[in-house]
Amino acid sequence: MNLEAARSLLFVPGDRPDRFAKAEAGGADGVVLDLEDAVGAGHKAEAREHVRAWLAEGHPAIVRVNAPGTPWFADDVTAVGSQAVAVMVPKAEDPSALPQGVPVIPLLETALGIARANSVCAAPAVVRPAFGSVDLAAQLGVDHRSHEALRHARSAVVLAAAAAGRPGPIDGVTTAVDDAAALSADIAEAVLLGFTAKLCIHPRQVEAVRRGFAPSAADVEWARGVLAAASEGSVAVYEGQMVDRPVVLRAEAVLARAE
């Protein structure tokens, strides 16, 4: 699993091992086995063992562990950290509380986490940050479906990822499983702000997410045209716009995403 290039990550409850194989075959770029919100307190240990056994069989997966400060965090990391492709840490707020020696996806979903996004994203173990819209909205008392209410927070995560030299961040879930229009709108907002992937809660969302975060045919054509123009001299113009180094870098990034 290429964590830096993944566009779609599909959650599956850690206490539902009957769904693991289906999720793995569902077309997402990666599967996130969830030990946190999807699993009740009385089933945490059982879910952890199901996840540990699945990973031990050689199946690649990200694991969302329980948050630092909970009774389950340390045991989760000990059980799965060495086998998981990465550990997703919810309520990420403190770089020193992140697991060491394993790839980490910090889930920035609290006001303090957003305020400290720069330092969290810069932690050595961090591969790529993710944004948790639902939890943050609940804390702020706003509608998690509102793009406007969470635009500042989303942009803060994008800026923090870029400042730390991390890949574009992963956007949070769309809770409307059967609303294709809502999913499409959420994808468009995320792409507009600089996100390059999204968390999914149902296999039906995966294909739309993968398409939505891929560069369009028009984007690819533009990028190729820019690079062709740039190759002809130090000062170039393409479609009436000056082509300088930042434009070339953007074109290169578009083509890299297309691949």
Which residues are known binding-site members?
A: 64, 109, 135
Cα–Cα distance list, 161 to 73, 115, 133, 166, 191 (Å): 24, 13, 17, 5, 15
Cα–Cα distance list, 251 to 110, 129, 164 (Å): 34, 23, 21
Q: Which residues are annotated as a binding site for substrate?
A: 64, 109
CA distance 32 to 255: 27
Residues 226 and 233: beta-carbon distance below 8 Å: no
Q: Using the Cα atoms of residue 14, residue 106, residue 3 and residue 11 in order, give the sign of their dihedral.
A: positive
Taking Cα atoms as reference points, which of 19, 46, 41 lies closest to residue 33? Answer: 19
Residues 31 and 62: beta-carbon distance below 8 Å: yes
Instruction: Collect all residues with Cβ–Cβ distance below 8 Å to 68 and sequence separation of at least 6.
Output: 89, 91, 92, 94, 97, 98
Q: Which residues are annotated as a binding site for Mg(2+)?
A: 109, 135
Instruction: Collect all residues with Cβ–Cβ distance below 8 Å to 194 and sequence separation of at least 6.
Output: 155, 158, 162, 168, 169
